[in-house]
Structure 1
Amino acid sequence: MSDYTVYGSPRSRAFRVIWMLEELGVPYTLNPVAPQSPEIRAISPTGKLPAMTVGETAITDSSAILTFLADAHGAMTAPAGSVERARQDAWLYRILDELDAVVWAAARHSFVLPEGERVPEVKPSLKREFARNLKRIAAECGERPFLMGDEMTVPDFVLTHCMGWSLMAKFDPLPAPLDAYHTRMRARSAYQRTSQAA
C-alpha cells in the first residue's frame, strides 16, 4: 500500500511522518497545508497537523500515523501483541507525555496562543520539567543505539523530533548520551532528506 498523501509542513509534527516514509522508501505525496486551513479541516475536524490519507481514508495524529505505517510495512516496530510492542508503546506514550506535551506547552505560550492568552512566566518551569524528564530518559537509555536496543522503532522518531524542537526553543543543552544519539539520528540520510524539504 502506498497511496499516501501527507498533509502538513515538515516544520510541523508532519516531519515525523515524512521522515518515516523516507526511511521506509515508500512513495507519498506531500500537501503542505497550514493548520486550521479549509483543506485540512475538510479531512480533520480539529484542523491540526499532520494528517495522512490512505486512499479516501484520513488518519490524524502523528503517533497514530507512525504506528500505522510501521505496522502496514512490517518495519521499525515490534509485532502487535508482543511484550516488546508493549515496551515500545510505553516508550512512545512516555515521550509524548514527558517531552512532547511539555515543549508544546512552551510553544503555545510563546507564539501559538493569541497574545492575550499567553503566560510567558510558565516557560522556565516547563524548561526545568523537560530537562528533568530528559535526564531520566538518558539514564535509562545508556549507550544503546536506539531506545529499544539495536533497531530503530516508532518512539525514536518522536524522541529525536522533540529534542530538536527543544533546542530550537532554546531549552537546556541535551544530556551527553542523548546529544550523541540526536547527532546520529540527524545524520541519517532519510532525516537529511526530510530536513531539506522543510
Structure 2
Amino acid sequence: MYTVIGTSKSRSLRVLWMLEELGQPYRHIPANPHGEGVVEFNPAGKVPVLIDDGTPVTDSTAILTYLADRHGGLTYAAGTLDRARQDSLTQFLLDEFDAALWLAARHSFVLPEEMRLGAIKNTLRWEFERSQKTLVHRIGEGEFVMGERMTVPDFILAHCLTWALTARFPVIEPRLTAYLDRMRRRPAFLRAAAL
C-alpha cells in the first residue's frame, strides 16, 4: 500500500486523485509543507511525498508519471508519439500554468514580506491568460487534454485551474471552464478533494 504525505489543499491532490482513479489503496497523512513527517522524506520540505516500499518519491509530476507507468493506466506507453505529445503537454502546463501560479503564491505569502513584489502578479495573470489561449489550440477535441483518454496532464491542468480560481487568476477560455467543471465532477476527484 502506498503512503501519500501532504494535504489535499496542495499539489498532493493530484496524487490522491490519481490513486483514486486507479483504484489503488493508500494511506493518507495530511501534512503541510515543512510539517511533521515531511522533511525526513523530502529535505526541501515540499509535499507531496509518495512512499512505496519504504522509498520516498517526491515531486507531484514524477509521482504521477511513476504511478501511471507502474499501473499501466492514465498514460501512453513510453517511446510512442502519443507519449511524446503527452509529455510535451505536461511540460507546457508545468512551465506556463503551474509556474505562474507558484510564483504568484510565493509573492503573496511564501516569501518574506520584504522580498515580495506584488506588482508581478499582474504580469503573471497576463501570462496565464495568454497560455490558456495557446493551450486550447493544443488539446484534443474529446473530453480530456489528449482527447478521449485521461492522462497525466489532466491531473495537472485540472489542479492548476482549480488553484487559479482560488488565486483569482481568471479562467477565460470557455473550453477550459467546461473542462474543469467535468473534471471536478468526477467521483475520484470528489473523493480526493474531500480528504
Task: Determine if contact 1:147/1:155 at 8 Å carries over to the other structure.
Answer: yes
Deviation at 1:82, TM superposition (A): 1.3
The structure where helix makes up a greater share of residues is 1
- Residue 67 of structure 2 corresponds to which residue in structure 1? 69
Matching of residue 49 in structure 1 with residue 47 in structure 2 = yes
Distance 2:148 2:78 in 1: 19
State the TM-score, normalizing by the size of structure 1: 0.95
- Count of aligned pairs: 195
What amino acid maps onto 1:41 in structure 2?
V
User: Which ranges of structure 1 fall in alignment gaps of 5 or more residues?
Assistant: none
- Residue 146 of structure 1 corresponds to which residue in structure 2? 144
- Residue 99 of structure 1 corresponds to which residue in structure 2? 97
What amino acid maps onto 1:182 in structure 2?
L
Matching of residue 159 in structure 1 with residue 157 in structure 2 = yes
- Aligned-CA RMSD value: 1.1
What amino acid maps onto 1:77 in structure 2?
T
User: Which ranges of structure 2 fall in alignment gaps of 5 or more residues?
Assistant: none
Could you give the per-residue CA deviations for residues 68-111 of structure 1, whole angstroms, max 9, x where no partner exists?
00011100000111111111111101100010001110111111
Matches within 5 A, 1:75-114: 75-114=73-112
What amino acid maps onto 1:179 in structure 2?
T
Deviation at 1:196, TM superposition (A): 1.4
Distance 2:72 2:115 in 1: 44
Could you give the per-residue CA deviations for residues 35-75 of structure 1, whole angstroms, max 9, x where no partner exists?
11352111111111111100110000000000000011100
What amino acid maps onto 2:155 in structure 1?
F
- Residue 133 of structure 2 corresponds to which residue in structure 1? 135
Distance 1:115 1:163 in 2: 26
Task: Determine if contact 1:163/1:174 at 8 Å carries over to the other structure.
Answer: no
Percentage identity across aligned positions? 48
Distance 2:188 2:172 in 1: 22
Question: Which residue of 17, 24, 27 maps to 1:26?
Answer: 24
- Residue 179 of structure 1 corresponds to which residue in structure 2? 177
Describe the SS at the equivalent of 2:41: coil
Deviation at 1:142, TM superposition (A): 5.9
